[in-house]
Every structure is written in structure tokens, then in C-alpha cells.
Structure 1
Amino acid sequence: MSGSFAVGPADIDAARERIRGHVLRTPLILSPRLSELLGTEVLVKHENMHATASFKERGAANKLLQLSDDERARGVIAMSAGNHAQAVAYHARRFGIPATIVMPETTPLVKVENTRAQGAKIVLYGETLHESGFRAREIAEAQDLVLIHPYDDPAIMAGQGTVALEMLEDAPDLDVIIIPLGGGGLMAANAIAARNLRPGIEMIGAETEMFPAFLNALNGEDRPVGGPTLAEGIAVKTVGELTLPVIRELVSDVIPVSEDLIEHAVSLYAGLHHTMAEGAGAVSLAAMLTDPKRFAGRRVGLVLSGGNIDTRLLAAVMMRDLERADRIVSLRLTSNDYPGLLGRIASLIGSEGANILEVRHSRQFLDLPAKGVSIDLTIETRGGDHVRAIETALLDAGFTVRRIRPQDFAKDVLG
């Protein structure tokens, strides 16, 4: 292991002692349902259980506890898409330090309001963390504030590295640790800590396909960077200067994950593991979902790095995941209209063991005969085979049946 990294094992050990009593020692929990699904032993590190629901508290507490009296009096400023913001604001309030947080204008409202509730001054600026960073540096210089970078800071990195120390205390025989990858602070420090304790352990990073900053930096690629992502917490365009050398040397692979898999991972955490994960927090599980056979027969530790997801967004993600799995489907039936038609359809659907969630009944489409009717059904099913059986029964009963997607409803309404 290189001795030229910004932090070393001793720094991470010191950070652990420094933050003891200020942050929660989160549990590492075996997930039987995820293990069964993925065909290997999966253990989840619950960083979503901190007071501000993310691992960021570790680095924030470690940094703030090392400030001088003069620096504490002047105050601090940070740029963040949410979790670093909440962590800095929370611990700054605990330690009596004034805090200003610059957040992208696209930050989810729940994260903005949670940060404001901690007493920090909020500045919304730019569409990305990169743009917010420029504004934070301007304010820091103008007001003589201490800038607390979300990942390119040795004290922040050392604090984050305490995750792996706890994981390997609880499960010394882990074969793999998969960690979300944004700017790289969490990944880099934990790679140092884990590889020091267990040199043969495989460290894997996971980043969203929308922001493949490390894949570009490590491999000399030029993948497009940017766009709407559920994993806004790791939506970073440029990698850390301090983190890149560590990841280049100690991390074996970086797995890009699609938005569909991120949504699926969020839904699986809620449905199978009974815990809340935000998009960025779920990408380590999403990375496993890209190729489960790769991890067969190995003990895999997943860092669930944060759980700050709006409940309405979580509900929407879970509904979309059910639609992808054909557990909720929408069908458009066309038929001649006659008394008792809806009752007949309901009886037929019920006899097939499905549940009708919503019905939309229209006679106004111009592509229908004057006496025709179009009926859109949203139904709950057991999956793809069940849907095909229902479609067959409807066809046999004389209906024209077409599968429709949610966007089709919007087209009908908007024209």
C-alpha cells in the first residue's frame, strides 16, 4: 500500500477515537432475503441509521472536532447535495459553530428542509454540486469561513474510513465490500482501512451511469457525464484529487449502474430488507444486481450509505418497480358497449385471481366505433405468467386487449 496517500490507517484509527460518542456505531446485518435473491451471503452496513441518516456524519464530526477556537468562531461553509449538508449542519449546531450550506437548486426538498432545520444558513445555487462548489468557495473567501469539502479533505476522508473498521470487526471474513462512489471520499478511506486489516479483500465502487466520473478518470474514457438521476448524492462531475490515487491503487473495479437498477435496489431494500435507502445509498446493491453470479459463494458487505429519500418518491419508485416486474399492469380493452359490461370484466378479472386497482372508462376516442367503448384497467397480478393468463382469458371472452404504459395515459389526456 502506498505511503503517499492523504490519509493512512493511523489517521482513520485516530478519527474513530475522536468521533466515538458523537456518531452511532451502525450495525452490519445479514440479509436473508437479499442473500437468497442474489445467491450469496449479503451483509448490509446500515449507515442510514445515523441521526441525519447517512455516513456523512463520521467525516463531519471528525473535521469539526479538529477546528481551532478561531476557526469555530468564524464559522464553516460546505457544498452538498444533501447528506454532507445535513451532517455538517447537525454537528455544527451541537458544537456551537455557525454553518452555511450551499446546495444545488435540484436538491430534493426533504434534504433542503432537513438541513435548514439544523439551524444552518442555506444558499441554493447551480444545478450540480460542481457549480455549488464554486459559489461556496466565493463565499468562504469573502466571509473568511472554513470550507468543509464533502470528500477532498483528509479529515473528512479519515472519518468516513471508520465504516470499514466496524464492518471488519463484525465480519472479519468478508470477501468483498461494495461502496457507493461519488467524489470518492467514502470509497478511498475505506479501501485504505479495509486493505490494511485484510489485504486480500476486494473493494468495488459503484457509480451511476449518468455520472461515470471515476470510470472516465481511471480508464481515460469520455463517457457523457450529467443528467437526471435518482442517485443525486453521488452526481459528481469531477473526482477528488486526494481520492483518485487511492482508488486507482486499491479498488479493483468500478461498476456503472443504470437508473432502472438503482430504482430496483431502492425497492428491494424497502420490500425485502425492510429499510429505507436513497438512490445513492442503494447503488452498492444495484452493482450486485448487474451480475449476481460474479459474487457467488462470497461474503459481500454492502454499504447502505444513506436513507434520505422523500416518502412520496419512495412510493413512486416502488410502484414503478412493480410495473417493471409485471406485478402491476395496465390493459386497454375495447368492446361494444352494453349494460353489465364492467361487471362482466370485473368478474372475469376476479376469477383469474387478480385485483383491479383502477378503471378508466371512455366512449370519446375517435378510433372507436360510435357504439364502442375503451376501458383502461390497472390491475395487481402475481407476475408475467399471470398477466399472460389474464390477457388470454380476456381475448377468449371477445375483448381486444392491449398493454399500455403510464405515459399512454398522459398522451390521452394531453392529446
Structure 2
Amino acid sequence: MSHGPELSDIEHAAESLAPHIGHTPLEPSQYLSDVLGAPVYLKMENLQKTGSFKVRGATYRLSRLTPEERARGVVAASAGNHAQGVALAARELGVAATIFMPLGVPVPKLLSTRGYGAEVVLQGDTVETPLRLAAEFAERTGAVLIHPYDHIDVVTGQATLGLEIFDDLPDVDTVIMGIGGGGLIAGVASALKQRAAVAGRTIRIIGVQAENASPYPQSLIAGEPVAVQTKPTIADGINVARPGDVPFDIIKDLVDEVVTVTDDDIARALLVLLERAKVVVEPAGAVGVAAILAGKIRSTGKTVTVLSGGNIDPLLLQRIVAHGLAASGRYMTIRIPLPDRPGQLVRISEIIANAGANVVEVMHTRHGQGMQINEVMIQISVETRGHEHQQVTLEALREDGYEPILIDD
């Protein structure tokens, strides 16, 4: 069986964290309820201090340090949420913190981490370099290395989120959340399964990983943590190649199912959350919603999906919204080769308008792309109402003799 935290330890953690974190809201979502066919609630952990659940585990981990360990200070490596969680926890508890971050870290996360008072060292193109430097720093100085998920105190701190869900919705049936290293879902599963057992009922726990970074399905089949080769994903907050040992030992016993979602699914979820729930969520925090929208979740009872973080760079948000619109069939870019004679652009615009679509942007060139000397190429970005409407628009152009080419993002 798992070696997860006892319910009494989780409840003690909740008491000790109460002065330092917020009890985040649980909000119903009519749109997602209609999609799933069962009541859906959003656990708004994106509204947590530092904008992420990470502050729970970091604060509880630091609170458990001995006076001698606190005097040595702490060190961590992170590209974002863990860094902010450790920095705020260190400030709250009066502990010196050094955070190693990669050079390409989003500016908002960098400024927030520094703003909480931590000393930030920028080095390396990926988080692997900061991880190595943080370990070397700990060895050299005696500072305590704070791991983002692979420690029982971190798991216990994250578990307090599960207590909040149960307190606010005692008859919850299914809880969905993303999995990176596994600290959050291991803690929440521990809390909810034990609370449910006391109440004489069961609660299903479903984990969601990005398709391009999903070591848990293979690891669960193997019965032990297995490292996989990850690919780039917009859900960088859960881009982890190997499960943590401590979380995996809990997850293999307590998590009922793990599913994966694509980046298109995640982008679509972010757009739905913006438009329908009026909330800003980072990609890793939206994977539960993505799983619902992609038809990966089956539930007939009250269902909670955890919006685990809201720290997203505005420039990335802009790109993801555009990608989400395209994935939802509400935006497309097409190229159309044309004879180089007057009136062609006007005719194209008329056809698109008559089909009920809206031209957003037009590019026109006579050069390159293998064109003949008497040809031009126009590239048009069009706003549409869905995939079916896109096909209607493309067919209208074809019926008039044009050959539109759909351009992928």
C-alpha cells in the first residue's frame, strides 16, 4: 500500500498553513456541466497566493525545517511556480532563499520571484542546468534543497487542497487534475480517499498529463517510475520526464485513472475558460478542462476539476488564444493562387462575406512560392463560426473556381 500522509497529518498541515495561504473558491460551470452531462465545479487554485498550488507544499516543507536548517537557508530550481512558492514561503517564515532559474524564464515569473525577496540566479537554457546548480549550491553551502514534488512534506502541504474540496463539496464524486511530477495529485488523493472512507463512500481521482510529456501511463503499467523522452508542450508546468518516487508510490494505489490530452485540447480549454468562466489559467492548470472537452472523462456525479495555476505570460496567452481559436474552428488562414489581374481581391472578399465569414487580415505577394510570372498569391486570415462553417466558406471559394489551401498554425 501507499506511504501517503495520514489524514491527521494533512489536517495539521491545513492548520499550520491557514495564516499563509488562501482557501480558494469552488465555482460551478454550467458550460462544462452541459458538456460532461454531470455537474462540474472549478477549484480556483489559480487565485491562490503566487497564482499556484505550489505555495502550499513549499510553505509546509519550510515550516518543518529545524532552526538549524532554517539558519542555513534554502535553495530551489524552477522555471516558475515552484520558485514563487518557495520565495514567498521563505519570506513568510524568515528564511533566506536562493532560486536558480533558466535564462528563458517568463519575465512575470522572474519579477514575482525576486519581488518575494529571493536571490535569483539565471543560468542555462532549460531547467536541467538550474537543477544541477541548485544541487551543487546545496552541497557547497549547506542550504536545504527544496524539491518541487518528491518529498512527503511537500505532498502533505499540497494535500490541504483536497481537504478544501471535501469541505466545500462533501458529495463530490470525481476529482480531476493535472500531473507533472505527481505531488499535487498524490496529496489530494490521500486527503480525499481518507475523508471519503470516514464518510463511508468513494471518490474517483483522475490525473491528466500532456500527451507530449506523459511518463505516468507507462510507469503505472511497469509498476515503477519510468523516464520517457518528452517533447515540447505548452503545458510546461507539467513537463516532467519521470515521476517522483514519493508521489508515484501513492498514485499507483490511490489514483483511479490517468488520461492524456494534446496541446490543441489544452489551447481549446484555455479559450473556453476565458470566454465561459472569465478566468485566466496557465496551460498546465487547464488540462482537466481539456480532458472534459476532449471526451476523456466519464462521470455521472458531481465533478471537480482543479485549475492548479494562473501564471501565464501575456505573450504566450496571446499565441495560445489564437491557436485555440484555430483548433475550435473559429479562425483559419488560407492561401489562394490568383491570376494577376484587377478585381480578384474584391471577388474573393465578396465570396467570403456572402458565406458569413469575416476577413481579419490579408497578405498579397507577386514573389516566390513557385508562382508563374502572371500569378499572385494572397493569404487571408478569416474568422469563422466553427469547423462546419469553415468548410462552407472553402467550398464557396471552390465553386467559384478558386483553389484555397488551408494553412496550419
| C-alpha deviation, 1:348, in angstroms | 3.0
Aligned to 1:198: 196
Q: Scaled by the length of structure 2, what TM-score is found?
A: 0.91
**Residue identity matched to 1:304:** L
Aligned to 1:397: 400
Q: Find the aligned partners of 1:213 and 1:371 in 2 and give their Cα distance.
A: 54
| C-alpha deviation, 1:47, in angstroms | 0.6
**Residue identity matched to 2:321:** M
Question: Is 1:84 the counterpart of 2:82 in the alignment?
Answer: yes
Q: Find the aligned partners of 1:260 and 1:226 in 2 and give their Cα distance.
A: 17
| Secondary structure, aligned partner of 1:161 | helix
| Secondary structure, aligned partner of 1:242 | helix
CA gap 1:256/1:356 in 2 versus in 1, 3 angstroms: same
Q: Find the aligned partners of 1:88 and 1:368 in 2 and give their Cα distance.
A: 57
**8 Å CA contact 2:50, 2:81 repeated in 1:** yes
Q: Find the aligned partners of 1:19 and 1:223 in 2 and give their Cα distance.
A: 33
Aligned to 2:6: 8
| C-alpha deviation, 1:291, in angstroms | 3.0
| C-alpha deviation, 1:168, in angstroms | 0.9
**8 Å CA contact 2:158, 2:184 repeated in 1:** yes
Residue of 204, 216, 219 corresponding to 1:217: 219
Residues 1-80 of structure 1 mapped to structure 2, 5 A cutoff: 2=1, 5-80=3-78
Aligned to 1:286: 290
**8 Å CA contact 2:4, 2:187 repeated in 1:** no
| Secondary structure, aligned partner of 1:119 | coil
Residue of 384, 391, 394 corresponding to 2:387: 384
Q: Find the aligned partners of 1:39 and 1:78 in 2 and give their Cα distance.
A: 42
Q: Find the aligned partners of 1:31 and 1:251 in 2 and give their Cα distance.
A: 24
Q: Find the aligned partners of 1:241 and 1:395 in 2 and give their Cα distance.
A: 57
| C-alpha deviation, 1:204, in angstroms | 1.5
CA gap 1:227/1:404 in 2 versus in 1, 3 angstroms: closer
Q: Find the aligned partners of 1:275 and 1:371 in 2 and give their Cα distance.
A: 50
Residues 260-409 of structure 1 mapped to structure 2, 5 A cutoff: 260-292=264-296, 294-365=297-368, 367-406=370-409
Q: Find the aligned partners of 1:366 and 1:57 in 2 and give their Cα distance.
A: 52
| Secondary structure, aligned partner of 1:373 | strand
Residue of 91, 95, 109 corresponding to 2:93: 95
Q: CA RMSD in A?
A: 2.3
**Residue identity matched to 1:209:** E
**Residue identity matched to 1:207:** Q
CA gap 1:288/1:126 in 2 versus in 1, 3 angstroms: farther
CA gap 1:156/1:367 in 2 versus in 1, 3 angstroms: closer
CA gap 1:30/1:398 in 2 versus in 1, 3 angstroms: same
Aligned to 1:181: 179
CA displacement, residues 162-213 of structure 1 (integer Å, 9 cap, x when unaligned): 1111111111111111121122211111111100111311111112222222
| Secondary structure, aligned partner of 1:356 | strand
CA gap 1:70/1:216 in 2 versus in 1, 3 angstroms: same
Q: Scaled by the length of structure 1, what TM-score is found?
A: 0.90
- Deviates most, 268-277 or 48-57: 268-277
Q: Find the aligned partners of 1:127 and 1:226 in 2 and give their Cα distance.
A: 16
**Residue identity matched to 2:314:** T
| Secondary structure, aligned partner of 1:190 | helix
CA gap 1:390/1:239 in 2 versus in 1, 3 angstroms: closer
- Deviates most, 120-129 or 341-350: 120-129
| C-alpha deviation, 1:131, in angstroms | 5.2
Q: Find the aligned partners of 1:350 and 1:289 in 2 and give their Cα distance.
A: 30
- Deviates most, 61-70 or 177-186: 61-70
| Secondary structure, aligned partner of 1:7 | coil
- Deviates most, 30-39 or 118-127: 118-127
Count residues with an aligned counterpart.
Answer: 403
Q: Find the aligned partners of 1:184 and 1:368 in 2 and give their Cα distance.
A: 53
| Secondary structure, aligned partner of 2:51 | coil
| Secondary structure, aligned partner of 1:135 | helix
Aligned to 1:412: none
CA gap 1:159/1:176 in 2 versus in 1, 3 angstroms: same
